[in-house]
């Protein structure tokens, strides 16, 4: 049995806390919100984020970050990406040398263009940082629906330890050393999911969505490989797998926000309606910053940025994508 602190009591944090508790571990969940911790302690259920998912009496809840961190074998950092740096900074005084932090949020920091694991390593240099990502809606993991995911680490030993910690008969965990590729796939698929939702909101069909998914993963892989990630990662669970589930499911807050934007809502109106952090909005500008830095073309993500931040009509963005210069799909020599 391991002692685990889950930092963040949103839907994903609670779903993973329940999974780890069901695996026989001693789990403590932290939130900065006193009313949230009071609800979880009293009701044994997150009625706002994961209604109907009951939490065991053995699970502990606290607003004291020190209590959630000290003496724990593993820390699961599950706050929304815009709060990763500030939360990591608050965690630093209590984190021991070599303590494992598993980041489960998805995003790229807009101001620095750093991945979230890089942000955590900068703020908590004494920790060993890992990432957990893949096609995994909290609403389904919380209900025990079979799910497959990837853990990324720099050390094989740590990857295998975390694989054993999280894995059970409904939660299959693969391991990978490609931390960069895992994080880029997880962050940028949210931007493409906004595009897929916008297409849905405009009333387009399956053909359009298939095009966005396939050309979207091409963009993500193009950037990732240029940055040093492995192409195979984008063909796997944290690439095309995560992109499919986020573009297709109504569990996806990014797709839901995109649908509203396609129907004429502003970005702010859509985010208010979804009532959860829409990670793709925060990653969109960062993606374009990376594209510029590495001189990579990201036409879908570029159009999403213009719709989000430049008030470009969504239908016009789709037209521009369709009327781009003619391209070939596969780069190889033709037969004469």
Phi and psi, residue 124, nearest 5°: -130, 70
**Of 72, 106, 189, 285, which is the active-site residue?**
189
Strand 60-62 to 45-46 pairing: unpaired
Q: How many CB atoms lie within 10 A of CB 313?
A: 12
SS3 content of the chain, % helix, strand, coil (to 5): 55, 15, 30
DSSP string, 106-119: --B-TTT--BHHHH
Q: How far apart are CA 81 and CA 277, in angstroms?
A: 9
What strands lie across the sheet with 26-30, from one edge to the other?
Answer: 60-62, 26-30, 3-7, 74-77, 100-103, 128-133, 147-152, 171-176
CB 147 within 8 A of CB 172: yes
Label residue 188 exposed, middle or buried (CB < 10 Å: 0-12, 13-18, 19+): buried
SS3 (DSSP) at 250: coil
Known catalytic residue at 189? yes
Distance CA 146, CA 164 (A): 16
Residue 224: count of CB within 10 angstroms of its CB:
27
**Cα separation of 8 and 80, whole Å?**
8
The residues annotated as belonging to the active site are 189
């Amino acid at each position: 049995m391991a002692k685990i602190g889950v930092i963040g009591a949103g839907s994903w944090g609670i779903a993973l806390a329940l999974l780890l508790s069901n695996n026989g571990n001693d789990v403590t969940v932290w939130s900065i919100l006193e009313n949230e911790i009071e609800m979880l302690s009293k009701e044994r259920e997150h009625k706002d984020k994961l209604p109907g998912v009951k939490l065991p009496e053995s699970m502990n809840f606290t607003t004291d970050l020190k209590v959630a961190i000290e003496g724990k074998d593993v820390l699961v950092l599950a706050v929304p990406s815009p709060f990763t740096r500030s939360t990591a900074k608050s965690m630093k005084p209590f984190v021991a040398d070599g303590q494992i932090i598993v980041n489960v949020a998805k995003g790229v920091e807009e101001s620095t263009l750093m991945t979230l694991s890089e942000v955590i390593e900068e703020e908590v240099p004494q920790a060993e940082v890992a990432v957990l990502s893949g096609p995994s809606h909290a609403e389904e993991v919380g209900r025990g629906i079979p799910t497959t995911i990837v853990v990324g680490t720099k050390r094989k030993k740590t990857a295998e330890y975390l694989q054993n910690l999280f894995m059970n008969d409904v939660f299959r965990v693969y391991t990978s050393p490609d931390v960069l590729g895992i994080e880029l796939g997880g962050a940028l698929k949210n931007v493409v999911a906004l595009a897929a939702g916008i297409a849905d909101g405009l009333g387009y069909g399956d053909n359009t969505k298939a095009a966005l998914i396939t050309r979207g993963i091409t963009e993500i892989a193009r950037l990732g490989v240029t940055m040093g990630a492995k192409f195979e990662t984008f063909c796997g669970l944290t690439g095309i797998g995560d992109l499919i589930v986020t573009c297709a499911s109504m569990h996806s807050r990014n797709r839901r926000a995109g649908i509203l934007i396609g129907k004429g809502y502003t970005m702010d109106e859509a985010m208010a309606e979804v009532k959860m952090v829409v990670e793709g909005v925060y990653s969109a500008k960062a993606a374009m910053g990376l594209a510029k830095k590495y001189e990579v073309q990201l036409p879908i993500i570029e159009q999403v940025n213009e719709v989000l931040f430049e008030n470009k009509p969504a239908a016009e963005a789709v037209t521009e994508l369709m009327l781009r210069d003619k391209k070939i799909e596969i780069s190889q020599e033709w037969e004469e």
